[in-house]
Amino acid sequence: MSGGVAAGKKVTVAAVQFACTDVEAENVAAAERLIREAHKKGANIVLIQELFEGHYFCQAQRLDFFQRAKPYKGNPTIIRLQKLAKELEVVIPVSFFEEANNAHYNSVAIIDADGTDLGLYRKSHIPDGPGYQEKFYFNPGDTGFKAFKTKYATVGVGICWDQWFPECARAMVLQGAEILFYPTAIGSEPQDNNLDSREHWKRVMQGHAGANLVPLVASNRIGRETVETEHGKSTITFYGNSFIAGPTGEIVKLANDKDEEVLVAEFDLEEIKSTRHGWGIFRDRRPDLYKVLLTLDGEKS
**Confidence class of residue 20 from pLDDT cuts 50, 70 and 90?**
very high
Please, which residues have CB within 8 angstroms of residue 259's CB and are 6 or more apart in sequence? 222, 240
Q: What is the mean pLDDT of residues 256-268?
A: 98
pLDDT score recorded for residue 231? 85
168, 124 Cβ separation under 8 angstroms: yes
58 included as an active-site residue: no
Summarize the confidence of residues 112-130 as an average pLDDT. Answer: 97
- Rounded (10°) angle between helices 166-174 and 198-212: 30
Q: Region 230-256: what's the mean pLDDT?
A: 96
Residue 111 lies in a domain: yes
Q: Which of 146, 160, 178, 202 is catalytic?
A: 160
Q: Residue 5: inside a domain, yes or no? A: no
Query: Is residue 4 pLDDT above 70, yes or no?
Result: no
Query: Would you call 123 a catalytic residue per the annotation?
Result: yes
pTM: 0.95
N- to C-terminal Cα separation, the chain: 39
Whether 100 is in a domain gets the answer yes
Determine the average pLDDT of the residues in 59-71: 97
Q: Domain with 152 in it: what CATH number? A: 3.60.110.10
What's the pLDDT band for 5 if we cut at 50, 70, 90?
A: very low
Indicate whether 156 pLDDT > 60: yes
Is residue 19 in a domain?
yes
Q: Confirm whether 30 is domain-assigned.
A: yes
Annotated catalytic residue: which of 20, 53, 99, 123? 123
Active-site residue (options: 32, 50, 178, 261): 50
**Does residue 278 sit within a domain?**
yes
Q: What's the pLDDT score for residue 295? A: 81
Give the mean pLDDT of 242-268.
98
Number of domains in the chain: 1
Give which of 237, 222, 247 is closest to 15, Cα–Cα: 222
What pLDDT digit, counting tens, does each position of 174-224 carry?
A: 999 999 999 999 999 988 888 899 999 999 999 999 999 999 999 999 999
CA distance 146 to 94: 15
Overall average pLDDT of the 147-158 stretch: 98
pLDDT for 1 equals 33
Cα distance between residue 126 and residue 20, in whole Å: 22
- Cβ partners under 8 Å of residue 177, min gap 6: 147, 154, 155, 156, 214
User: Which range marks the domain in which residue 121 is found?
Assistant: 10-294
Range 135-149 average pLDDT: 98
Confidence of residue 299 (pLDDT cuts 50, 70, 90): low
Q: What is d(CA 91, CA 89) in angstroms, rounded to the nearest whole number?
A: 7
pLDDT-derived band at 298, boundaries 50, 70, 90: low
Q: Which residue has the higher pLDDT, 293 or 79?
A: 79
CB 221, CB 19: distance < 8 Å: yes
Check pLDDT > 90 for residue 32.
yes
3-class SS letters over the chain: CCCCCCCCCEEEEEEEECECCCCHHHHHHHHHHHHHHHHHCCCCEEECCCCCCCCCHHHCCCHHHHHHCECCCCCHHHHHHHHHHHHHCCEEEEEEEEEECCEEEEEEEEECCCCCEEEEEECCCCCEECCEEHHHCCCCCCCCCCCEECCCCEEEECCHHHHHCHHHHHHHHHCCCCEEEEEECCECECCECCCCCHHHHHHHHHHHHHHHCCCEEEEECEEEEEEEEECEEEEEEEECCCEEECCCCCEEEECCCCCCEEEEEEEEHHHHHHHHHHHCCCCCCCHHHHHHHHCCCCCCC
Residues 270 and 266: their CA atoms lie apart, in Å, by 12
Residue 265 within a domain: yes
Q: Is the pLDDT of residue 7 over 70?
A: no
In-domain check, residue 190:
yes
What is the reported pLDDT for 3?
Answer: 41
Question: CB under 8 Å to 275, separation ≥6 — which residues?
Answer: 5, 213, 247
How confident is the model over 63-75, as a mean pLDDT?
98
Mean pLDDT of all residues in the chain?
95
pLDDT greater than 80 at residue 70: yes
| Backbone torsions φ then ψ of 50, nearest 5 degrees | -65, 140
